[in-house]
Amino acid sequence: MPQELILSRDAYLLTIDLRLFWLVAFIYAASALVFILHAVTRSPQAGSAARGIMWAGVVIHLFFIAFRTFEGGRAPFQTLYESLSWFACTASLTCVVVSRKFRDVHVPSMFVVMLSAGASFYALLTRNPAVDPLSPPLQSWWFEWHVVMAFLSYAVIVVSCAIEGTYLISRPLLARGAPRALGLTAQDTDGFRKTAFNLVLFGFPLLTFAVFSGAAWANEAWGRYWSWDPKETWSLITWTVFAMYLHAMGIPAWRKNVASILNVAGFICMMMTFLGVNWLAKLLGIPGLHLYAV
């Protein structure tokens, strides 16, 4: 095929790809707005509708990711544009699956869909959507596994934090005698919070694999399994905070407040690992080995 034809084909595919992602971002934003409407009006129909819109966004997002995989001939996790999309998709997917367990509680879904919409718009407005060839360090068996596992763990961490946050807000309201707070009743809270714990229990081995596979990959590519690079260190911080959370859940006196705070802190550390560390490194002028992902 002549080069001009290849370029125009790639541009055409990228145009479809770009518009699909914009569509997904707008759907997430619409879902977030309907969730806000539900929070204001407390209309159950609005909550269900918002959840339905979020489902639609996830389905189209999965199609977009499959399309981009076909377009690039590789897993679409190389650039920040791609990883933000993958982050938004996995977080929303996890949320819609998990939230089937508590159909009357919409705050966690509202939080997750807002985050997904934010990540999508941030990618679309500030990053270049071009499908670039893989740089040599990324051409590794570890690439797909490391990123997939890391982002799956991020997704469950996001949803777990959303649930934990909802629990933290609703608990004092229920303690003051409110029959229902944020869709939760006093009887629901333990089971609801158990979901947050189970999510971390699900995500922690994945996070462990992400840290371990990252070290194994670094050992193959850079000749050192650990360089105390800011991104590596923040991934270790995230892992450590969740290890603290899981241990705190085993100490009766810490099971409530301390563990809840650690779960939320773990989410903040995860966001630092994913995005914050790049800004921090740029701000402080710290060189990093992961700057291709900025």
Partner 1 sequence: MAGTNKKTGKAGVPAGASLYLYRKLSSLRVSVYLLGVLTFFYGLGTVFPQGAALEEYSGAGGKVVAAVRLFNLLDIFNTPWFLVPAFVLFLNVLVCTYDRFFTIRARKKTLPETFPADCAVTLDCARSDVEEELPGILRGKLGFRVLSKTPGWTVLEKGLSYRWLTWLYHAALAASFAGFILSGLFVREGMVTLRPGKPAEVVSAGEKLGWLEKEDHAAPDFRLVLDAFITAYTQSPSLEYPTDKRSRLAYALGWKGLSYKSEEDSFFPKDWFSKLRVLRGGATVSEKTIEVNDPLKFEGYTFYQAAYEQTLRLRVKGSPSIVEAKAGEKIKLPGMEGEFLFGTLRVGTLNRLDGTVEKIIPFTTVKKITDAKESAGKGMRLTPGNSVDIDGRTIELVDFEEASVLSYRYDPGVPVLWVAGSLVFIVMALRCFGRWYMLAYTLEDTGGRTLLKLHIRAKGLSADPERIKRRLLHCLSNRA
Distances (CA, A) of 2 to 5, 94, 248: 5, 43, 62
Residue among 40, 110, 202, 275 that touches partner 1 (CB under 8 A): 202
Contact 81, 146 (CB under 8 A): no
Which residue number, 15 or 45, has a Cβ lying nearer to partner 1? 15
Residue among 66, 169, 175, 251 that touches partner 1 (CB under 8 A): 251
Interface stretch with partner 1, choices 31-39, 60-68, 97-105, 195-203 (CB under 8 A): 195-203
Q: Which 119-138 residues touch partner 1, going by CB under 8 A? A: 124-126, 128-130, 132-133, 135-137
Residue among 41, 43, 45, 240 that touches partner 1 (CB under 8 A): 240
- Count the alpha carbons within 13 Å of 172 in the hemisphere toward its beta carbon: 4
Alpha helices per DSSP H over the chain: 3-41, 44-72, 80-98, 107-126, 141-175, 189-221, 230-248, 257-271, 277-284
Cα–Cα distance between 232 and 229 in angstroms, integer? 5
- Binding pattern for the stretch 208-227 against partner 1, x by CB under 8 A and - elsewhere: xx--x--xxx-xxxxxxx--
Contact 217, 164 (CB under 8 A): no
Q: With binding defined as CB under 8 A, does residue 277 bind partner 1?
A: yes
Q: Which 69-128 residues touch partner 1, going by CB under 8 A? A: 124-126, 128
Q: With binding defined as CB under 8 A, does residue 252 bind partner 1?
A: no
Contact 240, 193 (CB under 8 A): no
Q: With binding defined as CB under 8 A, does residue 201 bind partner 1?
A: yes
Residue among 230, 267, 271, 293 that touches partner 1 (CB under 8 A): 230
Return the sign of the alpha-carbon dihedral for residues 168, 173, 174, 178.
negative
Output DSSP code: residue 254: G
Q: With binding defined as CB under 8 A, does residue 261 bind partner 1?
A: no
What burial letters (b/e) apply to 138-152, b meaning 16+ CB within 10 Å? bebebbebbbbbbbb
Q: With binding defined as CB under 8 A, does residue 11 bind partner 1?
A: yes
Contact 213, 144 (CB under 8 A): no
- Tell me the closest approach of the beta carbon of residue 173 to partner 1, in angstroms: 29
Burial (CB count <10 Å: 0-12, 13-18, 19+), residue 92: buried
Interface residues toward partner 1, by CB under 8 A = 1-3, 6-8, 10-12, 14-15, 18-19, 22, 124-126, 128-130, 132-133, 135-137, 139-140, 198, 201-202, 204-205, 208-209, 212, 215-217, 219-225, 228, 230, 233-234, 236-237, 240-241, 243-244, 247-248, 250-251, 254, 277, 280-281, 284-287
